[in-house]
Amino acid sequence: MSDRRVEVDGDLVRRPAYPWTPTVHALLRHLRGKGLEVPEPLSCELGASGEGGVAGVEVVRLVEGVAGKDAWGLQATDRGLRSAATLLRRIHDAARSFNPPPGAVWAFPAIAGESLTVLHGDPGPWNMAWRDGLAVGLFDWDLARPGPALDDVAYALDYLLPLRTDEDCLRWHGFTQVPDRGARLRVFLDGYGPGADLDLAEVAAAILTRKHRTREEVADLAARGIEPQRTWVADGFLAEADDHLAWAESNIERLLR
């Protein structure tokens, strides 16, 4: 399974496992114990890491709901956006009390900062399970690692506002009219709840910092031979990310004002 093939059989998902998968499974068990809808880890068979860093196979139980590309139209509504923010806050609050097992391994080192928790690392709407138009669960935890909650918030906002051109919003992000990013920011922060009283400069700086980090992490995973990042980079992801970043740096304050 070095090509990161994911197989779904009923409510079972069979995925490549990595050295950090046992740590992620411990985190998932903790979150499920707190009442969160995340994949139920069923098994993890590890051996020596092979091509693409794959070390074995994991099996988890599927989180039921709409996901992937079908989630874009759901997150475009204020109701859907607020639910995504509320879900992320519940995840962050529950993860604060997680004690990693001895010898815990993460895909990336912990990120220093304030309001530390365990991050999902990739909390876009495509990794959320949606039911009745609401985000109710979060899956694909491979990039989890300890860090400040704001890092996950910034990542989510990059896609949920979204920090993309008007054309991309209409073509790819599920909107039928150009979104008011400033209004969506207020909806998200309201849904996330207490502690999200950030000013425009803080939000803008956090999103740009996260965009830089995302580019670096994709490049790092690709260099390790891990899929799908290896294919993304081969197909020109880094140049595209640089273009997105330059556009965001020039437009973010105007869009969020």
A 10 A CB-CB count for 66 gives 17
Q: Which amino acid is at 37?
A: E
The predicted structure's pLDDT at residue 4? 58
Sheet holding 7-9, edge to edge: 7-9, 12-17, 56-61, 40-46
Q: Kindly report the pTM of this predicted structure.
A: 0.95
Cα(187)–Cα(185) distance, rounded to whole angstroms?
5
Residue 159 has a pLDDT of 98
Residues of the chain with pLDDT under 70: 1-4
Domains defined for the chain, CATH in brackets:
7-61 (no CATH), 68-256 (3.90.1200)
Q: Percentages helix, strand, coil for the chain, rounded to the nearest 5?
A: 50, 15, 35
Angstrom distance (rounded) from CA 156 to CA 4: 24
* Total Cβ atoms within 10 A of residue 145: 22
Q: Are 142 and 135 in contact (CB under 8 A)?
A: no
Q: CA dist 80 to 141, 160, 188, 194, 246, Å?
A: 21, 10, 10, 19, 29
Per-residue confidence (pLDDT) for residue 74, from 0 to 100: 98
For residue 166, give the 3-state DSSP assignment: helix
